[in-house]
A and B are shown apart, each in its own frame.
Chain A
């Protein structure tokens, strides 16, 4: 089975540009999570969805960040405009409804904003 798929794997952009990160969860999983990892702050939950509906977005840092899940097999995390402090590794994870906390992580997108 394919695991969680994320694209792009690396993204380098200039400050002020729009960045879109993409995620395809494991087929059949009905929970999807977006995390950010930095050396300073560790691994932080940004937002999570259940059955394509956002459940908790309290971790989204500010209005520059937005996430959507238009269907069960695709989600995006968008940053507009991007800032250097957004540089981090962004992980998408998915899980089954019966065990939402047993999460399977994608390979991550390393974002660098210059």
Chain B
């Protein structure tokens, strides 16, 4: 079982719709969760972080975390063609020692927003 799993997509949504991206993780003691956006041929860019159960909103983005279900999601409201990218879920399991700075990434979900 992969540590961090995402549906690779592609996920296609019309402009103005809500895009919903999902991620599950296997280590129950995981504590910190991140969403990175990666445009084709570019480097990953941090867009959201979430550390506690519930929702966290930042502009058109909402991250949702459910530790009991080991599930984290990213909602993009009013999707725009410029949101078309690969979205990477990343998880840290801070079990002490050398894991303090380690992120494990999912394979990413390709999102396409069509006009």
Contact = CB atoms under 8 A, between A and B. Distances in A.
Nearest to A33: B101
A91 B101 contact: no
6 contacts: A31-B101, A42-B107, A55-B100, A101-B49, A101-B103, A106-B43
A101 B92 contact: yes
Contacts of A107: 42-43
A88 B77 CA distance: 33
Chain B interface main SS type: mixed
A62 to B, nearest CB: 19
A56 B101 contact: yes
Given A33-B101, A48-B102, A104 B88 contact: no
B27 interface: no
A32 to B, nearest CB: 10
Contacts of B104: 45
Given A43-B105, A48-B101, A56-B101, 18 more contacts: A42-B106, A42-B107, A42-B108, A45-B103, A45-B104, A55-B100, A58-B98, A91-B44, A100-B101, A101-B32, A101-B34, A101-B49, A101-B90, A101-B92, A102-B34, A105-B43, A107-B42, A108-B43
